[in-house]
Amino acid sequence: MSESFVPLTPRVGAKATVGRDEVLDPAFAGECLDALERYGVLLFPEVGFSDEEQVAFSRNLGDVVPQGPTRPDGTQEVVFKITLDPTENPAAEYLRATIDWHIDGLFEDGPPARATMLSAHRLSAEGGQTEFCNTYAAYEDLPEEQRRHIESLRVVHSLAASQRATNPDPSEDDQARWREAEARRDRTGRVGEKEHPLVWRHESGRKSLVLGMSVDHVSGASDADSRRLIEELTAHATRRENVYRHEWKVGDLLIWDNCGVMHRAVPYAADSGRMMHRTVLRGVETINGVAGAN
């Protein structure tokens, strides 16, 4: 067991006990990735990284996904600013949906992100905490008969479903905008829908639940049965004892295993000033368990 991390809760999360210089040392990467697999969420309290340091740390751990604005030379920034203020991020309206439980990248091409890193630059006076739940433990806690049943099920995820979580009565304009966004994101002709197993069989041998606001329906099930099962499993996964809520301080940095942890932001006002900087590690394992394939 690493001496560089101490658990935050019995089920998910650990806090680093090492200094910022050691965190930035490439030699620390292996220990950090092992701890991420063990704890699901790692906190580096008030480490105060600049964007350049956050990117360097991210690159020590894996391949970083470009996601920010495009530079004048045509390359893309790798730091993405998380804010609900549309004057600071044109995608602010889309980010409103992050107040519901989700796993990043479930309706996009390729493997979901391996991990996500978030650093706190400005905080909201109310709300804005981030919660995490352990989807490995959620699967393992289920009765054996139920585990066998859901392992055969597949679930459709979509951008539209994720947006309906916070906009349950969309206008025609809303729906048209979602369809356009889905078409831009998807290259398979399935208009932004992706079907995945409900249970992720990881290459490590572990299994986890694949849930979140992006769930549209369970394949082959009625709407009522789909809704009942997904609500039941989500309530099970997000029980208090399976959740870590992080109270941010400026300078905090968190990294979480996007393959075994769901997360959400506690609601906060769009004009609160809250600003997080995000970097993302490219996925290496598809939900079907075949690395590098879709």
Tens place of pLDDT for every residue, the chain, 294 residues?
568 999 999 999 999 999 999 999 999 999 999 999 999 999 999 999 999 999 999 999 999 999 866 777 877 889 999 999 888 888 777 687 788 999 998 877 789 999 999 999 999 999 999 999 999 999 999 999 999 999 999 999 887 777 666 655 656 765 565 555 555 444 433 446 789 999 999 999 999 999 999 899 999 999 999 999 999 999 999 999 999 999 999 999 999 999 999 999 999 999 999 999 999 999 999 997 444 333
pLDDT confidence of residue 112: 93
Sorted by sequence, the CB contacts under 8 Å of residue 163 that are 6+ apart come out as: 94, 97, 170, 174, 178
Q: Is residue 95 part of a domain?
A: yes
- pTM for the model: 0.88
Q: By CB neighbour count within 10 A (0-12 exposed, 13-18 middle, 19+ buried), where does 232 fall?
A: exposed
Q: What is the pLDDT of residue 291?
A: 40
Structural domains counted in the chain: 1
In a domain, 292, yes or no: no
Q: Is residue 293 part of a domain?
A: no
252: domain CATH number is: 3.60.130.10
In a domain, 286, yes or no: no
Side-chain-side CA neighbours of 110 within 13 Å: the count stands at 10
- Of 66, 65, 56, 67, which Cα lies nearest the Cα of 29? 56
The domain containing residue 176 runs over which residues?
Answer: 5-281
Q: Considering the domain boundaries, does residue 145 fall inside one?
A: yes
Residue 43 lies in a domain: yes
Tokens of 82: 């998380």
- Does residue 38 form part of some domain? yes
